[in-house]
Structure formats: structure tokens, C-alpha cells
Amino acid sequence: MYKKLSIYQLAIFSIFCTLFVYQSSTVQAETEKSTYTIKSISTKLQKDGLVMVLQGNSAPAYTMYELFNPARVVLDIAEASIAPGVNTDSALPANDFAKLNVKTLSDQNPAITRFEITLAETHGYKIDRLGNNLSIQLFQKSGKQAVSETAKATPATLLDIVVRQKTNHTEVLILADVPIKNFRFDTVTGRNGLPDSMYLDINNVNGSELVREKNVGTNLDKVRVATRGSGVRIVFEAAKGNDLFTFNVATAPQGLLVTINEKKAVQNSAAKNKPVANDQTLDELLDSSEAALTESSQAPDQATAEAMQDSFGFSGYKSNRISVDFYKIDLHNVFRLFREISGVNLIVDEDVSGSLTLALNDVPWDFALDIILNLKGLKKEERYNTIVISTEQFSWPERASDNLSFEADVEVIEQEALVIQQATQQTAEIVQAKELLRRAKIEEKNDDLEDAVVFYEKAFKLWPQNAKISNKIATLYLAGLHINAKAVHYADESLKIDPKNYQAALYAAIAAANMDQTAKAMEYFSQSISGQPPMKEALVSYAAFSEDKGQPEAALKLLNRYAKDYSDTVDTMSSRARIYDAMGKTDKATEQYKTLLYSGFQLTPGLKAYIRSRLTKNSN
């Protein structure tokens, strides 16, 4: 059984990521509405923080998000009322790190009660639902402690954890805005069923932007992060049942590089993870780590590229990352939030209705948006920095002259007459194929893609001139069933029917790239961008593919074509700057970084820090 995925106008690799997050995230659609009464608000001041609990009479429908300039945490509760006698003005005791503003937005549907907390940069937050109650925790961040009047140096910031799997080893780059030198590491033998692990302590750093846990799935099972005093402890856990791996830790230009040996795990002993003379396995490991470090020093952009893209490959999902927690929140309020986050124009059809429960952590905003659209069966059309969301396919208005209106009406009449004529002349095979298509859609709706694709294939045999069916089969094999060879075959069938089926060419290109058939993938990619204008997802995917295959000039041409036809985005500008950096064209890279920094786009703190670090380095 597989989860159902809908395909929109995006590169198909993105849907792999959608499948992964859809399976691993807590996602549930809700349509219920209820009135939530806040019966009391209790607040307890703690050392350098506080806990506030909103006590309610039923399960709340809410959403939470962040705003900036100044930094604010916003908690919106739908259909909420505050019981008489509850004084929100005194709910937050006097303190020097947070201020509370409570207001009711009665002009929205449903009405919203908003708790907006202006928070000092030294503090973080956590919001949880505890039954009918909502808990708001404010706490001091590690690595950002108050300093004396003789201000200390700004602590380094850890931006991301980037995992690169090689043939015999796995590299884990702790990406930072400066090289990390103040660190120590040691090993721990697992007890009571816990795995062996190596831990890395990095002092005087800010690790608030790191994910708390990252799965790897090799000799290194997972990486976990926890704050520790004014720094961060990063734990590298061995795979369950395995002894601890050998490893090497070294300072890299972009932070800290940990290399894990994947050849053979050693016996449970902390001593065996220390440098030992005449240890051939460890010598080889150190040699490979030095080579990797040299390669990383020559091309710092590669680590950064992977950090910003986070293995989304050719997906096109490279937008600003967000974490969202929606609980039975109205869809229109959800989309209004995405408008604030993305900065794009977002139009939602009045026919869109319902509510949603969804929790996602550290994902691109457009990825989260597509998750929601998939869940609710909605369609998305994007053009000119505008996204239209509706229940039916949306047609963009085309420019037309008044003197062509009569010809257009005649054409419509002729097309309708042709449809009627074709309907009366349908063969028995087509009628049978339509019945199979109906059954295929039912199986697909029931999340049984294996049975669905069988019905689609039978329908295509009966109706071989219908490219929509072969396109659908290629999509299912590529995105749902992950059978690349079949995806290429059916994409080819679509191209035989219509050589200008650019979507099918893109499916074939990505499937061929998955199978490491570089020449074939390039041929299909070239075909996928032959439209006028080329599909935006094809341009982005082909550019990423070209960069990955060491063809920076080709990648730049594709990104420039994207900018010409659709206007630049944060992703295309950052990709262009990164490529110039890799080519050693410092002046052009600097120009791109500055353009991105002052573009007006909303940039994540990590990306801003990285851009500033590159500008500082390039100016030296």
C-alpha cells in the first residue's frame, strides 16, 4: 500500500520528498468546528523564562508561526472566546524578555483570538497542546547569554547538518558561519539496549537553527542535537546491534567535518576510536578524510549547496524553511499564513472549504503548501508571482482583441460539435477503457497504487493513442512506486503520441537521472525545455542536474532563462551565486549575493548569515 500523491506543475523529484514527509509527519484532515472557551490563564515565572497555560473547555483549533522585525510568536485560536473574569492584560507578569498582546479578529471567518508575544532575541519558545489546554513555554536560548559591558565576541552559529554518503564512508558536515575550532569528542558504550555512540561538544555556539534529530541509516543510524550550557552536544548513534564505527573529526572551512567509516564496525571500545599507531583501517579512514577535506576546501560551495538544498535533488523545493503546527484550523487562514511567509500573491477560490490538522518541522514552505493541496484534493496554478488555489483547474486569462471574439466563438462551437460527434463514435475498446480508468481512480483514491497502475495499464492497451493515460502511469511509477525503468517506458509512449509532451519528457529525464543514465537524462531534459516558454520546473531541474554533473556554464544558462521568463526567486539567485563561487568568479558571486541580500525577499537567518560570511570572505 502506498500513500496517494497528486502531481502538479512541479518537477517530479519533489513528490518523492512529499511521499517521505507525508508518511513520517502527523497529518490529519478535520472538518469539525467548535467554540473554544479560555476558562483561565495561569502563568509561572521561572529562572530566565516562564510557562503560561491557557485552560480550555474543548480541543482547540489553532495555528502558530513566527513574524520578524521585531521577533514575534503568534498563536491564533479559531472560534475562541475568553471567559468573563479572565484578565489578559495581567496574564504576563512583568519581565524583560517578553510582552503579550491579545486581540480578537472578528472580521475573519472563523473569528480568531490572537496571542502575540514580542520576544527578545535571547529567548526561544515552545507551544504544545495538552488535551484541552495550550502550553506556552518561553526559555533562554543557549549560546546567546547576556554578556558583560565589555562585550564578548559574537558566538558562531551552526546552520545545518549535511550528510553525504560515499562508497566507503559517510561525511557529516556541521555547517557553520565560521570554522569550528573549540570542540571535543568522546565515545559512550551503550547500556540497557541503548546503542553505542560518539558525542561531539562544541562550545560557545548558537545551535538553535539545527534540527533536533536527523536519520542517516548506515553504520551511523542517526544524529541528535541537544543544547549544553553555552554550546551544543551532537550525538552520533551507531546502528542498532552494531558496534561503534571508526570516525575522524576535523575542522573544515565551513565548520566541522565528521567522517564515519562504512567498511566495518569495530568492537565496543572507546579506546579503538582514538588514533592508534599501525591501525591500517584507521589510517585509511584518516587518508580518506584528508582527501575529502581538501576537496571541500577547494569547493566550499558544494557543502553549502547541499546544506541549502538538503538532498531535495532536482525537486525545485528550495524555498525558505518553516515549521508549522495547525490543529483544526480553517483552510483560508492557513493559506493567509502562507501569503505572509512567502511574499507571493495567493488567491483562494471561495469553493475551497474545510479545516486541517498538520504538523511539519523544518521544510520548505512550498513543500508544506503542496502537502496541504494533496491532502485536500486542491489544484494549484502559478504564474507571475501569483498562486491560484481552487477546486477545479484554473485557466489564466489570455490577451485577446475584440475583432477576434467572433472567430473564438465559432471555434468553441466547432469544438463542442466535434466532442459530441466523437462521443457518438466511441469504440467498444474506448468505452471499456473508460470503465477501467474509473476503477483505477477508485484504487488510487484508496491509496492502493499497485492495483491502480494495473487498471491504468489495461486502459492504455485499449486506448493507446491517449497520452494522458501513459503520462499518469509514468507519474505513478516514478513518484509512487519508484520503478524508474517503467516510468521511462511510459513517458516514451507519451512522447511517441506527442513529441511536444514536455511533462512526459521531464518524467523520463528524472527517471533516467535516477538510474544514472546521464546521456539519456540530458537528452530528455533538453526535450523538456523545448516549449515556448520552457516549463519552469524543467528549467530548475535541468539546472540542478547540470550543476551536479559538473557543468556550471550550462546550469547558469538555464537559471538565466528562468529569470528571463519567470523572474528570479531566492532559489535561482542563491544557486547562481553558489555556482559563480564554485567557478572562482568572486566578483560575480559577490554581486549575486548582494542582489539576493537586498532583493526584499524574506531570507532565513541561516541563509542571511551564510551570505554575509561569503561577502566578508570574498572581500578579503
Task: Provide the CATH number for the domain around residue 327.
Answer: 3.55.50.30
d(CA 616, CA 614): 5
Q: Which of 51, 52, 78, 82 is nearest to 63 (CA)?
A: 78
Residues 328 and 295 in one domain: no
What digits encode the pLDDT tens for the residues 539-577? 888 888 888 888 889 889 998 888 888 888 888 888 888
The overall longest dimension of the chain from CA atoms, in Å, is 88
d(CA 473, CA 483): 11
Residue 245 CA to chain centroid, in angstroms?
30
The percentage of residues in the chain with a pLDDT greater than 70, rounded to a whole number, is 75
Q: Which of 559, 570, 565, 563 is nearest to 600 (CA)?
A: 570
Please report whether residue 507 resides in a domain.
yes
CA dihedral 610, 612, 615, 620 (to 10 degrees): -100
pLDDT given at position 203? 82
Residues 163 and 135 in one domain: no
Residues 232 and 323 in one domain: no
> Contact 159/610 with Cβ under 8 angstroms?
yes
Please report whether residue 191 resides in a domain.
yes
Q: Which of 148-162, 205-219, 412-426 is the least confident region? A: 412-426
Is the pLDDT score of 151 beyond 70?
no
Q: pTM above 0.75?
A: no
Residues 575-583: contacts with CB under 8 Å, at least 24 apart: 575/305, 575/318, 575/543, 575/544, 575/547, 577/611, 577/614, 578/301, 578/304, 578/305, 578/308, 579/301, 579/547, 579/552, 579/555, 580/556, 581/300, 581/301, 581/614, 582/299, 582/301, 582/302, 582/552, 583/552
d(CA 256, CA 181): 8
H or E segment at 162? Answer: strand 156-165
Is the pLDDT score of 390 beyond 80?
yes
Give residue 397's pLDDT band: very low, low, confident or very high (50, 70, 90).
low
pLDDT given at position 346? 85
pLDDT given at position 12? 42
Cell representation of residue 41: 490563564
Please report whether residue 349 resides in a domain.
yes
User: 83: number of CA atoms within 13 Å, CB side?
Assistant: 12
Residues 481 and 613 in one domain: yes
First-last CA distance in the chain: 56
The percentage of residues in the chain with a pLDDT greater than 90, rounded to a whole number, is 9
d(CA 170, CA 260): 5
Q: Which amino acid is at 259?
A: T
Give residue 319's pLDDT band: very low, low, confident or very high (50, 70, 90).
low
In sequence order, the 6+-apart residues with CB closer than 8 A to the CB of 389 are: 335, 346, 347, 348, 349, 352, 373, 378, 379, 380
pLDDT given at position 457? 92
Domain end (from 140, 164, 198): 140
d(CA 220, CA 171): 10
Radius of gyration of the chain (CA): 27
Instruction: Give one DSSP letter per residue of 290-351, joined into a string.
Output: HHHHHHHHH-HHHHHHHHHHTT-TTS---S-EEEEEEEEEEHHHHHHHHHHHH-SEEEE-TT
DSSP label at residue 48: T
Residues 348 and 200 in one domain: no
What digits encode the pLDDT tens for the residues 165-183? 877 888 898 888 777 878 8
d(CA 216, CA 460): 40
Give residue 30's pLDDT band: very low, low, confident or very high (50, 70, 90).
very low
Please report whether residue 92 resides in a domain.
yes
How far is the CA of 262 from the CAs of 75, 221, 266, 274, 384, in angstroms? 45, 11, 11, 17, 47
How far is the CA of 172 from the CAs of 140, 203, 247, in angstroms? 28, 18, 11
Give residue 268's pLDDT band: very low, low, confident or very high (50, 70, 90).
very low
Q: Which of 34-43, 78-87, 327-336 is the least confident region? A: 327-336
Average pLDDT value for residue range 29-50: 75
Number of domains comprising the chain: 4
pLDDT given at position 294? 38
Residue 387 DSSP SS3: strand
pLDDT given at position 456? 92
Q: Which of 221, 219, 226 is nearest to 201 (CA)?
A: 226
pLDDT given at position 250? 85
User: 4: number of CA atoms within 13 Å, CB side?
Assistant: 18
Please report whether residue 163 resides in a domain.
yes
Give residue 101's pLDDT band: very low, low, confident or very high (50, 70, 90).
very high
Give residue 83's pLDDT band: very low, low, confident or very high (50, 70, 90).
very high
Residues 177-184: contacts with CB under 8 Å, at least 24 apart: 177/609, 177/610, 177/612, 177/613, 178/255, 178/613, 179/251, 179/252, 179/253, 179/254, 179/255, 179/256, 180/156, 180/205, 180/251, 180/255, 180/256, 181/251, 183/249, 183/256
Place of cell 509514468: 474
Please report whether residue 487 resides in a domain.
yes
Residues 464 and 591 in one domain: yes
Residues 320 and 183 in one domain: no
Q: Which of 74-88, 106-120, 172-186, 387-401 is the least confident region? A: 387-401
For the domain that residue 176 is a member of, what is the CATH number? 2.60.40
Give residue 312's pLDDT band: very low, low, confident or very high (50, 70, 90).
very low
Instruction: Enumerate the H helices of 377-427 as residue ranges.
Output: 405-424
Bigger pLDDT: 450 or 607? 450
Please report whether residue 1 resides in a domain.
no
Residues 449 and 500 in one domain: yes
Residues 19 and 45 in one domain: no
Domain end (from 344, 375, 390): 390
d(CA 358, CA 64): 11
pLDDT given at position 277? 34
Residues 481 and 538 in one domain: yes
d(CA 504, CA 496): 10
Domain end (from 140, 167, 186): 140
The pLDDT mean for the chain works out to 75
d(CA 534, CA 539): 7
Q: Which amino acid is at 604?
A: T
d(CA 135, CA 160): 28
Residues 127 and 188 in one domain: no
pLDDT given at position 20? 38
pLDDT given at position 86? 92
Query: Does the N-terminal peptide bond of residue 533 adopt cis geometry, omega within 30 degrees of 0?
Result: yes
Q: Which amino acid is at 123?
A: H
Boundaries of domain holding 192: 156-302
Is the pLDDT score of 608 beyond 90?
no
What digits encode the pLDDT tens for the residues 469-503? 999 999 888 888 888 899 999 999 999 999 889 88
Is the pLDDT score of 105 beyond 50?
yes
Average pLDDT value for residue range 217-234: 84
Residues 245 and 380 in one domain: no
Strand-pairing partners, residue 102, are 115
For the domain that residue 103 is a member of, what is the CATH number? 2.60.40.3500
Cell representation of residue 567: 523572474
Please report whether residue 127 resides in a domain.
yes
